[in-house]
Amino acid sequence: MTGLEDHLHGLWLPLVTPFQGGALDERSLRRLTRHYSAQGIDGFILGATSGEGMTLREAELERLVAIVRDEMAAGRRTLPICLGLSGADTARLKDRLDETADWPIDGYLIASPYYVRPSQRGLLAHFETLADHAAWPIALYNIPYRTSVNITNQTMLRLAEHPNIVGLKDCGASREQSIALLRDRPKDFRVLTGEDANYFEALVDGADGGIVLSAHVETATFAAVYAEAKRGNHDAALARWHEVADLTQLLFTEPSPAPAKYWLWRCGLIDSPEVRLPMVEVSSELAAAIDREIERRTKVAA
């Protein structure tokens, strides 16, 4: 699959990475891939924040991509894959682009450099250098509350002119900035929200979709929110949104992706809720709250 910009819309799932006994749980990963490939999602993000990518060794990350691609090839539906990359060293990220150039992916999701807080000129040079070097298209990831630096719209619009930069995961935490970017962006530059709680409002504002961790649960409903919003049926989209809006709070009560992993474990989609340090599994209080919500939704569905 090629032409990431043609596929960068709709509901994308930042897939969790299942572990068991400290290792990549390949059996659970295959189960997850089969399950979500049959749902109404439009693409996978692998090895990013929700996938605990910063704890994955290179061999694990490569195996993760290979298994997901292999499992989709064995099924009925092939979806695009974006590989999450992050780092504060431009030269090292160029090396990572070289190391992953022949992997079976369709593009990259690359976050702003964290901790070092570069200037806007530094951000521009950083991302242009990577885009010049990358074998696959790049979607930017603006999340200043994690990286301590915001990509301003002025910088973003300059980056959007680069032929190898095709879109954005927008976690800018400013609706005003997001609306202005949606208004001024080039027509082929895709913007997907990465803020689960703002999924509906972002679609109403004109975003092309969302990269939504909460869509691991009630996936069809999250997909329906997008489908109704795209058709202009805002009342229907809002009604479906009300069915899942509370999940976007519950699943971020404690650091993600531990709550989502606990939910998936309780529902039998993964064999363990294990996360890697410095993440820890959910507290007993949150586990009980998730159990109650699972029970409530099971009764409603029945």
Q: Which of 36, 169, 226, 261 is labelled catalytic? A: 169
Q: Which of 36, 108, 141, 199 is labelled catalytic? A: 141
Put simply, whether the predicted model's pTM sits higher than 0.75 gets the answer: yes
Q: How far apart are the C-alpha atoms of 117 and 80, rounded to whole Å?
A: 31
Determine the pLDDT at residue 2. 56
Q: What is the mean pLDDT of the chain?
A: 96
The reply, when asked if residue 179 is annotated as ligand binding, is no
Averaged over successive runs of 10 residues, the pLDDT of the chain (302 residues) comes to 84 98 98 96 97 97 98 92 96 98 98 95 98 98 94 98 98 93 96 98 98 98 98 97 98 98 98 98 98 95 78
Determine the pLDDT at residue 1. 47
Which tokens is 82 given? 């974006």
Is there a catalytic annotation at residue 226?
no
Is there a catalytic annotation at residue 141?
yes
The reply, when asked if residue 211 is annotated as ligand binding, is yes
